[in-house]
Amino acid sequence: MLRHRGFTLIEVMITVVIIAILAAIAIPSYRDYVIRGALPEAFSVLAGQRVKMEQFFQDNRTYEGACDAGTVATLPAATDRFTFSCDPEPDATTYTITATGNAGTAAAGFTFTIDQSNVRTTDAVPTGWTEPAGNCWVVRKDGSC
């Protein structure tokens, strides 16, 4: 009796279909996971910068000039995923610090802000994400904080 070894074309096609279905589920989930993992970088830098701004205010009784180089509240350097700015320039009683996601990274399309009243807002999200209803930093695709 002659014995054939190997796989039939049907068996190979079924295997390919199963792998395609698993990939169709896993790849988008993994991409969202990577994006969610990138966001806390902005949150921690913004919260830390807020503390520095308050320290500057305690020392000078104004926020003017707080983001300038050489001060205790010098803006942090851009990271791989985010760029930080004081926009608009701080005045005597107000400031807004912005974290903008860099193009070509997992954080692209996101913009987060914090101000002197500790109001945390999500100003922009990429396509497919929902902006949160309240004043908070979005952490999930459905807009939850």
Instruction: For residue range 19-32, list pLDDT tens digits in order.
Output: 999 999 999 889 89
Instruction: For residue range 65-108, list pLDDT tens digits in order.
Output: 999 999 999 999 999 999 999 988 999 999 999 999 999 999 99
pLDDT for 70 equals: 92
Average pLDDT of the segment spanning 119-143: 92
In DSSP terms, 111 is beta-bridged to 100, 124
* pTM for the model: 0.84
pLDDT at 2 over 90: no
Contact 97, 113 (CB under 8 A): yes
Q: Domains in the chain, ordered, with CATH?
A: 10-124 (3.30.700)
pLDDT for 38 equals: 94
Mean pLDDT of the chain: 93
What residues contact 92, with CB distance under 8 A and at least 6 apart? Answer: 62, 63, 64
pLDDT at 3 over 90: no
pLDDT at 1 over 70: no
Q: Per the structure block, which two tokens stand in for 97? A: 């610090």
